Amino acid sequence: MKAFLRKNGFVLSGGLIQGAGMGIFLFPHSIPSGGAGGLAVLLHYWFSISMGLALWIVNFSMLLIAIRYLGNRCTLWTMLAVSITSLAVVVLQQCVSLPLNHVWIDLPLGSLFLGTGVGLLMRQGVSNGGVGVLALIISTSRNSLPGKPLFWINSCIFLLTAFIIRWDILFLALLSQWISTKMVDVIYRLDMWSISSTFWRRKS
């Protein structure tokens, strides 16, 4: 039960932090948060379906892959993480208004939040949804850090999206992914249990 509650806390925290990075800092500047957003834009462009439905299709497809390669438990945790992230984006966009709205301030801050949230999820063996599933599968099979495959998968999708639709946000999207995936690896390396144990010992 203790392990379950601890994992649940990390998953909830990861989803909320990821959602904050998207909803408060990145989405107001139309900066894609990852490959799933880029694929959703392409589906909307090609088939004229709504962005919400397109994003759901992408995430659902990735969850089907997760069931096969990562198991039912990982898929259920991923569904929770995706739901928390989506809810956080909706609530924070409505409730939080930053006094400064400058892309060169919001982009690094949003990317750091995004990478922290994704890193917390992947430390628990939980995907952040979308193409994060593929990155988690690759990192698990190779016993490597997930940041690098996540960066390259997302970069390829950004390039495809920019080539088909427009190029103006490509640089911002790639820079955001570079920062966030570096942060993913930083969080992935941390010994969270030792940090939390040290904190509680000092507090007591």
Higher-confidence position of 110 and 87: 110
| CB contact at 8 A, 155 and 174 | yes
Note the pLDDT of residue 197.
Answer: 47
**Continuous H helices in 96-191:** 103-123, 132-142, 147-164, 170-189
How far apart are alpha carbons 73 and 123 in whole angstroms? 15
Note the pLDDT of residue 19.
Answer: 87
How far apart are alpha carbons 179 and 14 in whole angstroms? 17
Q: Predicted confidence band at 10 (pLDDT cuts at 50, 70, 90)?
A: very high
CA torsion through residues 161, 164, 170, 174, sign: positive
Does pLDDT of 2 surpass 50?
A: yes
| Angle at 158 (CA atoms; ends 84, 168), nearest 5 degrees | 110
Taking residues 25-42, what's their average pLDDT?
Answer: 82
Note the pLDDT of residue 143.
Answer: 84
Q: Predicted confidence band at 140 (pLDDT cuts at 50, 70, 90)?
A: confident
* Assigned token pair, 99: 């006094």
| Angle at 80 (CA atoms; ends 131, 183), nearest 5 degrees | 50
* Assigned token pair, 3: 């392990």
Domain ranges for the chain, please list them: 6-203
Does pLDDT of 200 surpass 70?
A: no
Q: Predicted confidence band at 192 (pLDDT cuts at 50, 70, 90)?
A: low
Note the pLDDT of residue 199.
Answer: 42
